Amino acid sequence: MSAMSPTDDYEFTCPQCGEGFAVNGGMRAAVLERGCPICGSPASTDAFDPCPA
């Protein structure tokens, strides 16, 4: 595997729109603060799963 994604630490799945993508710690904080970047609905920590490297 040669994926260049060294900072993808979490898998975010939006409970509203169902969109899912990998995020790093900074993005996770941004989504928790601003909500889902796709649909704008509030996201809780439950929407994140740790991504095992």
Q: Applying CB under 5 A, which residues contact Zn ion? A: 14, 16-17, 36, 38-39
Task: Provide CB contacts within 8 A for 21, sequence distance 6+.
Answer: 11, 12
Query: Is the Cβ of residue 9 or residue 12 nearer to Zn ion in the bound state?
Result: 12
Q: Which of 41, 39, 47, 53 is nearest to 9 (CA)?
A: 53
Supply the minimum distance, in Å, between the C-beta of residue 49 and Zn ion: 16
Supply the minimum distance, in Å, between the C-beta of residue 15 and Zn ion: 8
Query: Is the Cβ of residue 18 or residue 50 nearer to Zn ion in the bound state?
Result: 18
How far apart (Å, rounded) are the C-alpha atoms in residues 21 and 45? 14
